């Protein structure tokens, strides 16, 4: 623990955080999009989401030594700058994996139902098989899907068995879902060639990062593709309205916005800050919540037909409500995110 009282600047939209650090630190809550250099000049730590861009423009001249993001991604943080200036960076790996998994299958079965598409012998191609991709893989296999996996970093580390090339995946899948981080190898990955390799009628789902997809290429490909489901967009919150009008499901970057995901993200960020500053009372922190009301829902889908499975997913997460809300007011993208009512996750054994 530092001798003096530490100061933390936190995104005011992070749930379950207010009051946690106050016994041990001075805390300033500011909307993440509006945190400025002046706000953090005398701060020791930042607790943020994706809306706070952390690079020299923000961090220069500050005494920040710790950044904890309550999200899985780090593309909003200049990691090289932080490393060279002794700033520890922590991201909440896997915190929202269950929520994204739920989103993918509610969207998949929901759009199949609306378009009268029978999911016969589905082949799900998962691009990026980390924490989220593994969850998606597990549920897909539980439902009897064939799964193709493309994850070059994992294949290099673990060996090629069980993985395939991106080209093979695109040519042999009937569903393609993106779950990669955004970095130099994935930015603009879904380009004109990417979509040209996909089979006609293939589902396309992006619940990863908007910058992975070249939106003009996607719009050109839409007449060839099957249902297109987009949760993450380039230039958020100023999203491409033309693209929104053409896709089957459009949502405001809320795929991982489950109750459990937010609990996990906040807990991970708090524990990281606590370890960094030696606040031992918070090493095992987890937000208090009503476990009966908000516990994840176990699903038993074995032996159910497609219509029954669709009904179960829609009952637990009526995804078309989120789609409707964005289409009615796309200019309220940020408000729809910050005011989102978190859903309970589902899981299968």
How does DSSP classify residue 210? G
In this structure, what token pair is assigned to residue 296? 């994840």
Q: What is the pLDDT along the chain (349 residues), one digit of tens a residue?
A: 556 789 999 999 999 999 999 999 999 999 999 999 999 999 999 999 989 999 999 999 999 999 999 998 898 999 999 999 999 999 999 999 999 999 999 999 999 999 999 999 999 999 999 999 999 999 999 999 999 999 999 999 999 999 999 999 999 999 999 999 999 999 999 999 999 999 999 999 999 999 999 999 999 999 999 999 999 999 999 999 999 999 999 999 999 999 999 999 999 999 999 999 999 999 999 999 888 888 999 999 999 999 999 999 999 999 999 999 999 999 999 999 989 999 999 999 9
The pLDDT assigned to 294 comes to: 85
In this structure, what token pair is assigned to residue 56? 């020299």
The pLDDT assigned to 4 comes to: 72
Kindly name the residue from 51, 149, 209, 337 that is annotated as catalytic: 209
Sign of the dihedral through C-alpha 241, 243, 245, 250? negative
Query: In this structure, are residues 66 and 46 in contact, taking their beta carbons and an 8 Å threshold?
Result: yes
Beta carbons within 10 angstroms of residue 151's beta carbon: 22
Distances (CA, A) of 129 to 138, 148, 217, 275, 328: 11, 10, 24, 29, 34
Answer yes or no: 209 catalytic: yes
Sign of the dihedral through C-alpha 326, 327, 333, 335? negative
Kindly name the residue from 236, 304, 327, 334 that is annotated as catalytic: 236
The pLDDT assigned to 2 comes to: 54
Kindly name the residue from 149, 154, 179, 253 that is annotated as catalytic: 253
Answer yes or no: 158 catalytic: no
Give pTM, 2 decimals. 0.92
The pLDDT assigned to 21 comes to: 97
The pLDDT assigned to 290 comes to: 87
The pLDDT assigned to 137 comes to: 98
Query: In this structure, are residues 99 and 260 in contact, taking their beta carbons and an 8 Å threshold?
Result: yes
The whole-angstrom separation of Cα 104 and Cα 101 is 5
Domains and CATH numbers, the chain: 6-91 (3.40.50.720), 97-255+300-347 (3.40.50.720)
Q: Which residues contact 156 (CB under 8 A, 6 or more apart)?
A: none
Residue recorded with tokens 């060839």: 224
Q: Which residues contact 343 (CB under 8 A, 6 or more apart)?
A: 99, 102, 257, 258, 259, 316, 317
Query: In this structure, are residues 136 and 100 in contact, taking their beta carbons and an 8 Å threshold?
Result: yes
In this structure, what token pair is assigned to residue 128? 């990026």
In this structure, what token pair is assigned to residue 271? 């524990």
Answer yes or no: 154 catalytic: no
Q: Between β-strands 175-178 and 203-206, what pairing exists: parallel, antiparallel or unpaired?
A: parallel
The pLDDT assigned to 1 comes to: 52
């Amino acid at each position: 623990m530092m001798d003096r009282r530490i100061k933390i600047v936190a995104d005011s939209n992070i749930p379950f955080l207010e009051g946690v650090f106050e016994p041990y630190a001075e805390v300033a809550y500011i909307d993440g999009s509006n945190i400025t250099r002046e706000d953090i000049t005398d701060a020791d730590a930042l607790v943020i989401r994706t809306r706070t861009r952390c690079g020299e423009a923000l961090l220069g001249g500050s005494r920040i030594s710790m950044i904890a993001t309550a999200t899985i991604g780090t593309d909003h943080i200049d990691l090289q700058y932080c490393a060279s200036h002794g700033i520890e960076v922590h991201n909440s790996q896997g915190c929202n994996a269950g929520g994204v998994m739920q989103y993918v299958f509610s969207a998949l079965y929901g759009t199949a139902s609306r378009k009268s598409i029978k999911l016969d012998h589905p082949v799900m191609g998962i691009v990026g098989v980390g924490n989220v991709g593994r969850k998606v893989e597990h549920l897909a296999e539980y439902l009897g899907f064939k799964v193709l996996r493309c994850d070059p970093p994992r294949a290099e580390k673990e060996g090629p068995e069980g993985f395939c090339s991106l080209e093979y995946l695109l040519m042999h899948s009937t569903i393609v879902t993106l779950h990669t981080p955004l970095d130099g190898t994935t930015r603009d990955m879904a380009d004109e060639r990417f979509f040209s390799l996909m089979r006609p009628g293939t589902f396309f789902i992006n619940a990863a990062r908007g910058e992975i997809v070249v939106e003009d290429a996607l719009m050109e490909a839409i007449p060839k593709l099957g249902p297109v489901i987009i949760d993450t967009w380039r230039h958020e919150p100023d999203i491409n309205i033309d693209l929104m009008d053409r896709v089957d499901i459009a949502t405001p970057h809320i795929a991982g916005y489950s109750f459990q995901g937010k609990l996990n993200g906040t807990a991970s960020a708090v524990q990281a800050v606590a370890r960094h500053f030696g606040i031992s009372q918070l090493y095992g922190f987890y937000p208090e919540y009503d476990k009966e009301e908000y516990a994840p829902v176990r699903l038993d889908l074995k032996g159910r037909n497609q219509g029954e499975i669709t009904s179960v997913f829609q009952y637990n997460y009526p995804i078309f409500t989120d789609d409707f809300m964005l289409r009615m007011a796309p200019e309220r993208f940020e408000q729809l995110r910050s005011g989102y009512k978190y859903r309970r996750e589902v899981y299968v054994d």
